[in-house]
Amino acid sequence: MARKLKRIAILTGGGDCPGINAVIRAVAKKAIVEHDATVIGIEDGYEGLVKGRHRRLHYDDVSGILTLGGTILGTSNTANPYRYPVRTRRGLQFRDMSAVALDNARQLDMDCLVCIGGDGTLDTASRLSREGVAIVGIPKTIDNDLRGTDVTFGFDSAVHIATEGIDRLHSTAQSHHRVMVVEVMGRNAGWIALHSGVAGGGDIILIPEIPYDADVVADKVKERNRRGKRFSIVVVAEGAKPRGGDVVIQRIVKKSTDPVRLGGIGFVLAAQIEKITSIETRAVVMGHLQRGGSPTPYDRILATRLGTTAVDMVRDRQLGQMVGVKGDSLVGVPLEEVARGPRTVPPDHPLIRAARAIGTCFGD
287-337 tens-digit pLDDT: 888 888 999 999 999 999 999 999 999 999 999 999 999 999 999 999 999
Residue 1 scores a pLDDT above 70: no
Residue 113 scores a pLDDT above 70: yes
Delineate the domains of the chain, giving CATH numbers in brackets: 7-153+295-338 (3.40.50.450), 156-292 (3.40.50.460)
The amino acid present at 284, given as its one-letter code, is V
Please indicate whether residue 119 is annotated as part of the active site: no
- pLDDT digits 0-9 by tens, 211-222: 999 999 999 999
- Mean pLDDT value across residues 74-99: 89
Q: Note whether 31 and 63 are within 8 A (CB).
A: no
| pLDDT given for residue 77 in this prediction | 83
| Catalytic residue (choose from 111, 119, 143, 156) | 143
| pLDDT given for residue 19 in this prediction | 96
